[in-house]
Amino acid sequence: MTGTAKPTLDDVARAAGVSTATVSRCLNSPDQVIAPTRVRVMQAVEALGYTPDFGGRALASRRTNTVGAIIPTMDNAIFARGLQSFQEALSKFGKTLLVASSNYDPAREREQMEVLAGRGADGLLLIGSARPESSTEFLRRRGIPFVGAWNLGGEDGYFVGFDNRAAAARLTELVIGYGHRRLAMIAGISHMNDRAADRTAGVREAAAAAGIAPAELPVIEAAYTFEDGARAMGELMLIIPRPTVVMCGNDVLAVGAMQKARELGLKVPGDVSITGFDDIDLAGVVDPKLTTVRVPHRRMGEAAADMLIKLINKQPVERRIEIPTAIIERGTLGPPPAEGGHND
């Protein structure tokens, strides 16, 4: 190679002492090349400053080596860890991640599906399973593999996630074990959000199993913001007799509820206990630290990437991978205040 000519695949192959087919496999499917050869090829790529011709590769392989992810929102930290590990895992297979947001709107999610399909995405990561059948049918007609995450889905499809309902039920059992009988919940908006709906169902089922009637468990649905969590908390604290514990559908709602409790002069957990869900970083730095459910975001992202790569490559894959959650007990959950105390 002389002058300023752009290095070619042949140049890389000669420098690495391999065939052009091996170089191509290294760039397109690195997991199919033994490590010493892969290292030698990638060193040649870096030394020569070789840039793959993505357009030509896409035409030849019918792949663009891009993967799309459509998440409900970019305003909340709950998806950040999972997407980070998802992207890191994809990069090992030479895939580039494109991220879009639906704002919890199924019509917007469908628009993003069409945009990513038009860009030639080899596969998609979606959140949950609550969407019109026409949207998933669109992906199937286009032959685009997709994986749902953050829950375990229905009868059809491929999912990496956890049992939101069971996790919420276990947390409720813990709350009741502390002696609470006057429970309330600030839930996420359940319309087209199976995670929010399942968490509410889990709380209600565990409460009912303990003999707490549905009418005795007020639930307010709120958008996942500090402000909406505080507003809902204010409404719940007007109930007489006041709830002794407020279970929140995520940590952002819970921190908003804690802020409102302070404004009302209530001690957490002395006057009212509060729990969250997700265990984002904020849960460990608020005062008191938040009792919550730890969601395995990073493990979900890694497993979802592995599943999607296998689907793209038409390899055998499990339909569902369940990743366990854990309850993290911290300072916002305690026993209910004594009757006749500061809770009338």
User: 58: pLDDT confidence band, cut at 50, 70 and 90?
Assistant: very low
Residue pair 83/301 in contact (Cβ under 8 Å)? The answer is: yes
Query: What integer is the mean pLDDT of 140-144?
Result: 89
The Cα 192–Cα 130 span in angstroms is 5
Say if residue 55's pLDDT is above 60.
Answer: no
Identify how many contiguous H helices and E strands the chain contains and give both numbers: 12, 12
The Cα 206–Cα 176 span in angstroms is 9
Residue pair 181/243 in contact (Cβ under 8 Å)? The answer is: no
The Cα 78–Cα 105 span in angstroms is 18
The predicted pLDDT at position 73 comes to 85
Q: Which DSSP helix (H) or strand (E) runs through 344?
A: none
CATH architecture assignment, domain 66-162+297-324: 3-Layer(aba) Sandwich (3.40)
Residue pair 194/129 in contact (Cβ under 8 Å)? The answer is: yes
Query: What integer is the mean pLDDT of 161-179?
Result: 97
The Cα 83–Cα 69 span in angstroms is 8
Top mean pLDDT of 136-140, 151-155, 250-254, 338-342 is at 250-254
Range in 63-67, 154-158, 293-297, 340-344 with the lowest mean pLDDT = 340-344
Superfamily of domain 9-52: lambda repressor-like DNA-binding domains (1.10.260.40)
User: 8: pLDDT confidence band, cut at 50, 70 and 90?
Assistant: confident
* Among 148, 190, 198, 211, residue whose Cα is nearest residue 171: 198
Where exactly does CATH 3.40.50.2300 map onto the chain? 66-162+297-324, 164-295
Considering only residues 3 and 113, tell me which one the structure prediction assigns the higher pLDDT.
113
User: 254: pLDDT confidence band, cut at 50, 70 and 90?
Assistant: very high
Where exactly does CATH 1.10.260.40 map onto the chain? 9-52
Say if residue 331's pLDDT is above 90.
Answer: yes
Considering only residues 133 and 57, tell me which one the structure prediction assigns the higher pLDDT.
133
Give the pTM: 0.79
Query: What integer is the mean pLDDT of 265-290?
Result: 96
CATH architecture assignment, domain 164-295: 3-Layer(aba) Sandwich (3.40)
In SS3 terms, 289-336 reads as CCEEEECCHHHHHHHHHHHHHHHHCCCCCCCEEECCCEEECCCCCCCC
